Structure 1
Amino acid sequence: MSDDDAEPDVNISGGSAGGGVEASFDPETAGTRAEAVVDRLGELYWQKAYGGQDGFECLVRTILSQNTSDVASQPAHDALVERYGPVEGLATHLDAAPHDELAETISAAGLYNQKAESIHRAAAWVLESFGSTAEFDAFVRDGDPGEVRDTLLEVKGVGPKTADCVLLFAGGQGGVFPVDTHVHRIYRRMGIAPPDADHEGVREVLERDVPAEKCGFGHTATIQFGREYCSARKPACLDDPDACPLADVCDQVGVYPESGEVEDPSDA
């Protein structure tokens, strides 16, 4: 991996400054197709063990990233922290922030009224349930992963991907493979997960077949691969089979180079 392949800062992981440490692995030991793909992605991009982010800021950041790109959510996150930071008092300031003001601040992320409501709820919940963001951070970092996940999912506006990102990037929990739209598409397209699997179904396959220490960078590297090669409408293999570095391990479910058509794997 070269310096040019360093993890981008415009990413829910926070890039090189987002916490976590470099990891290493031996691709020759891969025991499943999913692990082999993650190993290849690690060689293409980066290997990293995550953790270390502030729990509440990570929760807010992930809410901002829902249904939008990192390119759109990053400016919203930066504007929010600039107006309502520092992190230590963020929950208190967000809990007290007028809805219209908060929505305007995060407007770059899209769905800003809905996300402002979710952030308000999250801030009030953290303060009421834990008393401070420091106590919430300790719960995410030191609590039982299953309990942490279930607790987060009780908060309206927090779905499985958001809960898993908090567990991974703030809690540093191994064995957590968040499933966003890229991960959902790519592993069904490759034929690793069933073509009709929902997000939770894909997560179950990946967390079963990818070793715990590889799930974190498997998630982030898959997203980067989706942006660069395996997009929803025009994957690289559509025009040139040799253009994709993972073509030899992909079943191309729903991709038809002969006709130039692409469809969701569940419809293939």
Structure 2
Amino acid sequence: MSDDEPAENISGGDAGGGRPAAFEAAEDPATRAEAVVDALGDQYWRKAYGGQDAFECLVRTILSQNTSDKASQPAHDALMARYGPADDGADGGGDGDDLAESLADAAQDEVAETISGAGLYNMKSERIVALAERVVEEYGGADGFDAFVRREDPGTVRETLLDMDGVGPKTADCVLLFAGGRGGVFPVDTHVHRIARRMGLAPADADHEGVREALEESVPPGKCGFGHTAMIQFGREYCTAREPACLGGPEACPLYDLCDRVGIDELAGEAVDPSEAVADGSGD
């Protein structure tokens, strides 16, 4: 595991929110993707998500872009301590009870200083302040934005989020999942993108949106959330980019029998991106 990766995916671990949920493993899964998610649930956790504050979730996900949990979590904590509501459990340096209002009024350079440990802090601070201003202007603050995310049609929410500067598909889907509690949302990060294509759950040359569509079509809605968080953990622990566990033999990976191993050459002990394997014909 890279030193940049924390030991556990905080979104799925005990500190990551959500609540344990007894999703039943299917006796006869309708798809191999469902079988994989059931196996991941046995390996790690089964949780239902939702209930996080939508604007804070948006800010947290912006901070995590191109940055590990190990770096983004302290930046989030520092931001909440300086600008969060006084009753949020931190120092609550904000002027009121609304994180969006506090950040909309904040000096961008001070926000940048606060989140400097998260990487790309100048760009992220500009985006966070601009998003706060938009949320205050269009929704009256964090509470109004939270109600919009939880109650409006999911397609409308996703379209609106994608129209915001700095918000891509993964960020939008994380807000829908962790704040909105929307079923059938399977956010795709680097780990999910790699693993779904390597296992053959999505086309080897699919982009992030292609992987998302494939997984959301083949995984039951109630299992998408924990499928996302557990697949990230699986990618950190077993299915890494360059040295996946299967190179050590079938017994080294708990999901070996469910995987097509696209781009994996066990004899040579090599792993390439699945799209490269298809391009050179080795994945046929």
What TM-score range do you get, normalising by the shorter chain?
A: over 0.9
* Change in 2 beyond 3 A, CA 1:34/1:165: same
Task: State the match for 2:218 in structure 1.
Answer: 209
Question: C-alpha offsets along residues 159-178 of structure 1, whole Å, 9 cap, x if unaligned?
Answer: 00000000000000000000
Quote the Cα distance in structure 2 between the aligned partners of 1:255 and 1:261. Answer: 6
Greater gyration radius: 2
Corresponding residue SS for 2:27: helix
The reply to whether residue 197 of structure 1 matches residue 206 of structure 2 is: yes
The amino acid that maps onto 2:260 is D
The amino acid that maps onto 2:74 is P
Quote the Cα distance in structure 1 between the aligned partners of 2:48 and 2:172. Answer: 18
Corresponding residue SS for 1:28: coil
The reply to whether residue 37 of structure 1 matches residue 63 of structure 2 is: no
Quote the Cα distance in structure 2 between the aligned partners of 1:138 and 1:9. Answer: 30
Q: Which has the higher helix share?
A: 1
Alignment of 1:146-165 (within 5 A): 146-165=155-174
* Change in 2 beyond 3 A, CA 1:17/1:222: closer
- Give 1:166's match in structure 2, choosing from 175, 181, 198: 175
Quote the Cα distance in structure 2 between the aligned partners of 1:171 and 1:225. Answer: 25
The amino acid that maps onto 1:191 is G
Task: State the match for 1:92 in structure 2.
Answer: 101
- Give 1:117's match in structure 2, choosing from 115, 118, 126: 126
Answer with 230-239 or 22-31: which moved more.
22-31
Alignment of 1:1-150 (within 5 A): 11-12=10-11, 15-16=14-15, 18-86=17-85, 88-150=97-159
Task: State the match for 1:5 in structure 2.
Answer: none
Task: State the match for 1:263 in structure 2.
Answer: 272
Quote the Cα distance in structure 2 between the aligned partners of 1:163 and 1:216. Answer: 14
Question: C-alpha offsets along residues 141-187 of structure 1, whole Å, 9 cap, x if unaligned?
Answer: 11100000000000010000000000000000000000000000000
The amino acid that maps onto 2:58 is L
Corresponding residue SS for 2:51: coil
Shift of 1:14: 7.4
Answer with 20-29 or 172-181: which moved more.
20-29
The question of whether the paired residues in 1 share the 8 Å contact of 2:183 and 2:225 is answered with yes
Identical columns (%): 67
Gaps of 5+ in 1: 1-7
- Give 1:254's match in structure 2, choosing from 263, 266, 269: 263
The question of whether the paired residues in 1 share the 8 Å contact of 2:47 and 2:225 is answered with yes
Quote the Cα distance in structure 1 between the aligned partners of 2:137 and 2:192. Answer: 34
Quote the Cα distance in structure 2 between the aligned partners of 1:198 and 1:207. Answer: 14
* Regions of 4+ moved over 3 Å: 12-17
The question of whether the paired residues in 1 share the 8 Å contact of 2:63 and 2:118 is answered with yes
Count of aligned pairs between the two proteins: 261
* Change in 2 beyond 3 A, CA 1:229/1:32: same
Q: Which TM-score applies when normalising by structure 1?
A: 0.93
Shift of 1:239: 2.5
The amino acid that maps onto 2:122 is N
